[in-house]
Amino acid sequence: MESSSQTEFSHAESDRTRGTSHDVVRGTIDDATRGTSHDVATLKISETFQSCQGEGKLTGTDSFFIRTSGCNLRCHFCDTPYASWNPTGDQLPIDQLVAMAVETGLQHVVLTGGEPMLPIQITSLCELLRDAGMHVTIETAGTIDRELVCDLASISPKLENSTPDSQQHPRWSELHQQRRMPIEVMRSVIDRSIDHQIKFVVTSLDDFAEINSVVRQLDVDADAVWIMPEGVTIEAMDAAASWLKPYCDDTGYRYCDRMQIRWFGNRRGT
């Protein structure tokens, strides 16, 4: 998309948005922010867009995505480097973001990144979105805890396979390794959330020794665990599915496709 300060629509605008009154939307936001400092807070936003959720238990759900810019990790296979390795974006007021979400007429908002839990202002954004009656999913690596409640915490713990090369990126390799797996923080995020899912990005069957250990430490049910192949092409995902799906069937874990790639290809705004 050309500018992160404008909403990119990946689908035809929902019928539910027709006839929406801007005055009604503004009234919703004004009521939610009156007497607070929310309306002057801003977040650095990489992009916003309307699309279908392509991963996890809400796959196929029309959603408004707000992608924050900045991350405390550096996964070597990151598919959104413009929000992590080379973070770009604009500072947008929180009340503007809430208004944009409400104006879509959709019920679901996804806060993603980068790492959306990195800025403390995410707490206010989440609160105001839920006050406006929206279902909020937060897609996070689970390395940072905030005093907030979301409807779905979609936690993607970063396995050893995510660590950047120590020769090419010595500083980030060390920092990433130190930060990537704080089990107690993940437990706290799970406890605060109304619902949760745990998504792992897998590159080989060798990853499952670490996955099984993390699942035991988090004490989550197998059907809350989603296994997703690393890859940004349909061919790569299909190749991985041939050995990942049988393993998921045997363990009770859930196979997680990346439907946004099948629907739209690997591109921004989807």
According to the annotation, is 60 in a ligand binding site? no
Residues 23-35 as b/e (b if ≥16 CB within 10 A, e otherwise) read: eebeebbeebbee
According to the annotation, is 74 in a ligand binding site? no
According to the annotation, is 156 in a ligand binding site? yes
**C-alpha–C-alpha distance, residues 57 and 248, integer Å:** 15
Spatial CA neighbour of 215 closest among 230, 227, 203, 204: 227
According to the annotation, is 57 in a ligand binding site? no
According to the annotation, is 123 in a ligand binding site? no
According to the annotation, is 70 in a ligand binding site? no
According to the annotation, is 95 in a ligand binding site? no
According to the annotation, is 42 in a ligand binding site? no
According to the annotation, is 163 in a ligand binding site? no
According to the annotation, is 54 in a ligand binding site? yes
According to the annotation, is 248 in a ligand binding site? no
According to the annotation, is 191 in a ligand binding site? no
131 touches 106 (CB < 8 A): no
List residues bridging with 11 in a β-sheet.
Answer: none
- Residues 6 or more apart from 143 whose CB is under 8 A from it? 72, 73, 115, 117, 158, 179, 180, 182, 185
According to the annotation, is 52 in a ligand binding site? yes
- Which residues are annotated as part of the binding site for S-adenosyl-L-methionine? 77-79, 114, 156-158
- Which residues are annotated as part of the binding site for substrate? 52-54, 67, 112
- Which residues are annotated as part of the binding site for [4Fe-4S] cluster? 71, 75, 78
- Which residues are annotated as part of the binding site for Mg(2+)? 80
- Which residues are annotated as part of the binding site? 52-54, 67, 71, 75, 77-80, 112, 114, 156-158
